[in-house]
Amino acid sequence: MASGVSICAGADRQREGICEASGSRPDGKAGSKSCGRSYGSACGGLRIPSGCAIAGVISKKGKSIPGDLIVRSMTTMHDRSNGLGGGFAGYGIYPQYKDQYALHIFYDTMEAREACEKYLNRVFEIVNLSKIPIRKSPKIINEPLIWRYFVSPDHNRLADSQLDEKEYVVRAVIHINTNFKGSYVFSSGKNMGVFKAVGYPEDVGEFYRLEEYEGYSWTAHGRYPTNTPGWWGGAHPFSMLDYSIVHNGEISSYDANRRFIEMYGYKCTLLTDTEVITYIVDFLLRHQKLTLEETAHVIAAPFWSTIAGKSEEEKAKYTYLRNAYSSLLITGPFSILLGFEGGMMGLNDRLKLRSMVVGEKDDMVYIASEECAIRMMEPGVERIWAPRGGEPVIVKLDSLAEKEAAEQCR
């Protein structure tokens, strides 16, 4: 396991003239009352300067973890969010459909659903579809239609596209989110799913009945918007394929990051800086084939003065990464938690301006904004520490780590 850290706290600020309680969006598109979308909730009252709460848990042996464990951890950090967004990502939760992509989709209206499903039927083979089960609550209001589809790319269309399977799915997701008004795909990985809403995270967990799910890893987020409106699509986690991001911080490099990543077909449409981190991770890991460590050293690149003190081999590597991907350096205070198939990674900014704590017991690893969240999940946690800024904490399933080690030995 590498040392380092990252998670989430306050990466969004209310824009002037935007009513966060209504969930309205400033561009008149998804989320604004003018276009009919009513994603919203009552505003929180207490203001916490450092913003959001994040948490994650993983069993390295792949043991099943009930969803209500991560929900309970978020109750201890209630005051780090203000009711304008909460969410969770679970891995290993759909073993019966592990070979299909699980698309979770918000719809404004039945008409939006019908239009989107026509497209889905053209480009995918739909194995199963249903509403995502929810538990009605007065604490979660104005919910959209929330549907789930287990799909595989249409064999003939995939062959004609000359794309690999993952790129085919990514392009379909971006096409829906960009061109289908009133439809938003917020989760698209295999054997994983994102569940998010406008509300406090513990209420969101109850709303989605997460106690009925089990997975080997979970991440969670409680939102405290600081520069964007609170609406259903803007809640964390943000996801693309099996990558999911929860984030706490303020990205001052957002415009430079967005301009670069949109040159490669991604579209930032959700009015929050966290969205661009998700696409950066997908681009570096899937397209550029970087390792998790290399990706971390692009996002939170060492200072030039730090690189100067490295060995010649390390100096050459870090210099290359800084020069080749200079537009993907994320500046400003942040901590992020990345979930992926078979593992989890935490990362802080280089100066560690956002809190993150890591705990361990047996095969379990916990990461959170505050130690109290870890102790809520495991009162007998055996080791607690705070990673240094800019150094990733990478946790993988034992089975994945063993497979990668065997491949390196060949």
- The catalytic residue positions are 52
Q: Any idea what the Cα angle at residue 248 is, between residues 247 and 254, rounded to 5°?
A: 75
Rounded to an integer, what distance in angstroms lies between the CA atom of residue 237 and that of residue 129?
22
Q: What are phi and psi of 77, to 5 degrees?
A: -110, 25
The strand pairing partners of 89, in sequence order, are 194, 219
Rounded to an integer, what distance in angstroms lies between the CA atom of residue 271 and that of residue 288?
26
Write down the number of H helices and E strands in the chain: 12, 18
By C-alpha distance, which of 106, 84, 102, 82 is closest to 93?
102
CB 349 within 8 A of CB 359: no
Q: Any idea what the Cα angle at residue 77 is, between residues 144 and 195, rounded to 5°?
A: 25
Could you tell me which residues come within 8 angstroms of residue 240 by beta carbon, excluding any fewer than 6 positions away?
170, 173, 188, 278, 279, 281, 282
